[in-house]
């Protein structure tokens, strides 16, 4: 299973500093942090009733919901693939299968654009049989035959999963097979009778962020209590994760403990029969894969002559099981440069095939895919001939061969699926998504706004071709600006159908804190520099007004998760600049975020409120504490999920309560199931998008 790390950062400063303790009695709404508390849920029920009366009660709601549901359950959606054995897999949700079908097809039929699917597992049937709300969260299948799979199943869509062994050939769960109860956990196969597991079972092996910091080897048929410890981190870490590196034939070449001392800082240890051996890499580096005896890393800081942002290969010399051999510094580790992004580029993804490293690039926030091969210590690359001015995403890479599946998408051009053979450099279109809205009425432009400190910040504007330059266009401005996540062009059919077709404009602001121009773009808005991201976002809004695209009356903003920090701060710092604010699954109370859910893992991004110096700069912007009486705030739509086990629903609840206290208008709605990713039930997602755009229509179009 490919490990997906949650946003996080180092929770303990490495220098001596003064600490402070937040007093709970200073917060009159702390009772809303009790996720399932009777009083809190009664408050949620009352708020939901008011929100549905306002939004669901709009005469346009049924139309919006029907249009959204048609998109989310359409039979002509692209079935995105994953390679398994000699074929491909797909997870498919529609109106008849809201929980999803795990399906398989031959590679030949899929590549021809006419896949012949067979069902491997019906999650709706499983949910009905077991009385659960099972949703797919990935699988790790044992190479090379990929028959035995460790399924990650989420009851309700949250991050915590139950892991169960499944036989993909007989299409049944393995009797007496591996089974791990619900937790935030990661697992990798070693061999058919051994797995390497990171899972917390008590406070003694759980980090302050709520994740495991030990790795254990579990044998088939053994009790968890008998699992052998393979690696131990520390409670102050974010987490420890297993990484088993296999070659193209499925042979284990390196077993690695990834010790996340922070989201952006990691140590890597080779595991074997001897004591763990730490790899000589900087803390700010990320393991991207394995190919032909090389561990592939990206560097987020300068290191031994390699520049920040570089992609490098670490050559391993040792036994095939990953245990050390020879003189560690002189014989085992050799670094070589694979590629160095330019100032306008960033590496947005890395995959490996049998003999190649595949780099998913952004260049001025537009996509490209480059393929690198090695001769000795030298790497050479070539760019695939795929659509320009688009986002390109490598959806699947054939570990045992040379095939890729890649999607291209842009704001107005429907998503297309391509295959490419990296050995021959040939590619061809597999299938194109039919248009889900009328894109011909709009045009895409890229502009640059000057932020408060003079930094030029790019943004994409999707506007009506016949737009009047009088500021009358209803405009939705989206931003994120955190955790080195980039926001390139994307085909958003629900946005196009529910917003663009009704005459709206859509904007993505590529503000600092994201990854659009490499690690430096992200690091320039960390911690005490967070205000730069907020200034960038405001500058884009001001630029749209200066260009007479829109006015504050017609300008709305939307952000979710870390983007909720952004939108609530802008709402309190610049209330005159916007008339609509969508705040989804947000962080808001930044003086207590580290006490809630996975918040302790994010202090490297925001700072540690228990440290006096950090608390001071966080308090300068934390929106929950900045709400004041007598201020005319735009009426926000605030929404979250009860079962979000990544960003605590208390943030959204308390912010709404604070607005109510000062007499400011707001709308609050909380879904009662579904996790942070909003990837559970298509019907729930249709309701979600309909409410979003009904609210925006009311505020910006009416």
DSSP letter at 47 equals H
Q: Is the separation of the CB atoms in 189 and 177 below 8 Å?
A: no
Structure tokens at 536: 């960038």
What is the torsion angle, in degrees rounded to the nearest 10, for the CA atoms of residue 27, residue 33, residue 38 and residue 42? 80
Residue 163 is inside which H or E element, if any? strand 161-167
Instruction: Catalogue the E-assigned strands of 465-550.
Output: 475-478, 505-509
Catalytic site residues?
A: 561, 676
- In degrees and rounded to multiples of 5, residue 698 shows phi and psi of -60, -45
Q: Is the separation of the CB atoms in 224 and 214 below 8 Å?
A: no
3-state secondary structure at position 40: helix
Q: Is the separation of the CB atoms in 687 and 665 below 8 Å?
A: no
Structure tokens at 590: 């930044």
DSSP letter at 435 equals P
Measured distance CA(257)–CA(198) in Å, rounded:
10
Structure tokens at 459: 């943004």
- Crossing angle of helices 650-661 and 562-573, rounded to 10°: 10
Strands 345-352 and 333-339: unpaired
Alpha helices of 547-622 — where are they, by DSSP H?
562-573, 603-606, 612-619
Q: Is the separation of the CB atoms in 536 and 451 below 8 Å?
A: yes
**Nearest Cα to Cα of residue 656 among 217, 50, 144:** 50
Q: Is the separation of the CB atoms in 72 and 684 below 8 Å?
A: no
Within 13 Å, how many C-alpha atoms sit on residue 699's CB side?
A: 31
Burial class (CB within 10 angstroms; exposed 0-12, middle 13-18, buried 19+) of 632: exposed
3-state secondary structure at position 237: coil
Contacts of 13 (CB under 8 A, 6+ apart): 608, 611, 614
Q: Is the separation of the CB atoms in 411 and 506 below 8 Å?
A: yes
Measured distance CA(13)–CA(24) in Å, rounded:
23
Q: Is the separation of the CB atoms in 673 and 642 below 8 Å?
A: yes
């Amino acid at each position: 299973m490919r490990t997906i790390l949650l946003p996080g950062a180092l929770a303990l400063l490495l220098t001596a500093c003064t600490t402070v303790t937040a007093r709970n009695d200073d917060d009159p709404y702390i009772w809303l942090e009790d996720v399932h508390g009777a009083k809190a849920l009664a408050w949620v029920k009352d708020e939901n009733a008011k929100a549905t009366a306002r939004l669901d009660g709009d005469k346009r709601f049924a139309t919006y919901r029907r249009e959204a549901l048609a998109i989310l359950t359409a039979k002509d959606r692209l079935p995105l693939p994953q390679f398994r054995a000699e074929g491909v897999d797909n997870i498919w949700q529609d109106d008849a299968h809201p929980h999803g079908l795990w399906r398989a097809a031959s590679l030949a039929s899929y590549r021809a654009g006419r896949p012949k699917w067979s069902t491997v597992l019906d999650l709706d049937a499983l949910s009905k049989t077991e009385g659960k709300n099972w949703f797919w969260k990935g699988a790790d299948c044992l190479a090379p035959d990929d028959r035995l799979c460790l399924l990650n199943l989420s009851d309700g869509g949250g991050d915590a999963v139950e892991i169960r062994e499944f036989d993909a050939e007989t299409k049944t769960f393995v009797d007496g097979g591996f089974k791990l109860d619900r937790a935030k956990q990661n697992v990798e196969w070693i061999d058919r009778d051994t797995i390497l597991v990171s899972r917390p079972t008590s406070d003694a092996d759980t980090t302050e962020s709520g994740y495991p910091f030990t790795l254990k080897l579990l044998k088939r048929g053994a009790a968890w209590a008998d699992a052998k410890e393979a690696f131990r981190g520390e409670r102050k870490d974010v987490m420890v994760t297993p990484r088993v590196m296999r070659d193209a034939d499925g042979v284990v070449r390196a077993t690695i403990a990834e010790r996340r001392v922070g989201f952006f800082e990691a140590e890597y240890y080779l595991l074997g029969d001897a004591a763990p051996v730490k790899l000589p890499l900087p803390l700010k580096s990320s393991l991207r894969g394995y190919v032909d005896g090389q561990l592939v890393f990206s560097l987020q800081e300068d290191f031994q002559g390699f520049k920040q942002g570089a992609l490098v290969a670490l050559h391993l010399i040792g036994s095939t099981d990953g245990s050390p051999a020879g003189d560690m510094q002189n014989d085992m580790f050799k670094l070589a440069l694979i590629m160095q992004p330019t100032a306008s580029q960033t590496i947005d993804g890395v995959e490996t095939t049998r003999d190649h490293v595949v780099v998913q690039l952004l260049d001025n926030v537009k996509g490209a895919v480059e393929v690198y091969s090695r001769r000795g210590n030298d790497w050479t690359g070539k760019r695939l001939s795929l659509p320009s001015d688009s986002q390109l995403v490598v959806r699947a890479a054939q570990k045992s061969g040379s095939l890729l599946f890649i999607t291209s998408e842009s704001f107005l051009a429907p998503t297309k699926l391509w295959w490419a053979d990296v050995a021959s450099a040939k590619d061809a279109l597999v299938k194109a998504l039919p248009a889900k809205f009328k894109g011909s009425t709009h045009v895409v432009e890229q502009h640059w706004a000057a932020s408060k400190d003079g930094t030029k910040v790019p943004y994409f504007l999707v506007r009506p071709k016949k737009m009047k330059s009088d500021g009358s266009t209803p405009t939705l401005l989206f931003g994120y600006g955190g955790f080195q996540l980039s926001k390139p062009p994307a085909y958003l059919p629900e946005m196009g159908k529910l917003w663009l077709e009704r005459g709206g404009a859509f904007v993505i602001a590529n503000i600092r804190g994201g990854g659009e121009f490499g690690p430096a773009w992200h690091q320039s808005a960390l911690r005490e520099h967070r205000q730069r991201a907020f200034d960038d976002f405001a500058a884009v809004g001001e630029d749209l007004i200066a260009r007479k695209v829109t006015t504050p009356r017609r300008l709305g903003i939307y952000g979710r998760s870390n983007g909720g920090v952004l939108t609530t701060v802008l709402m309190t710092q610049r209330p005159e600049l916007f008339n609509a604010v969508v705040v989804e699954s947000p962080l808001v109370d930044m003086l207590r975020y580290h006490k809630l859910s996975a918040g302790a893992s994010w202090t490297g991004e925001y700072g540690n409120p228990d440290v006096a110096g950090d608390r001071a700069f966080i308090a300068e912007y934390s929106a929950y504490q900045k709400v004041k009486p007598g201020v005319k705030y735009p009426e926000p739509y605030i929404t979250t999920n009860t079962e979000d086990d990544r960003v605590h629903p208390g943030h959204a609840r308390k912010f709404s309560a604070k607005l109510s206290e000062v007499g400011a208008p707001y709308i609050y709605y909380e879904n009662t199931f579904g996790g942070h990713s909003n990837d559970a039930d298509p019907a729930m997602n249709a309701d979600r998008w309909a409410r979003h755009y009904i609210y925006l229509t009311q505020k910006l179009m009416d």
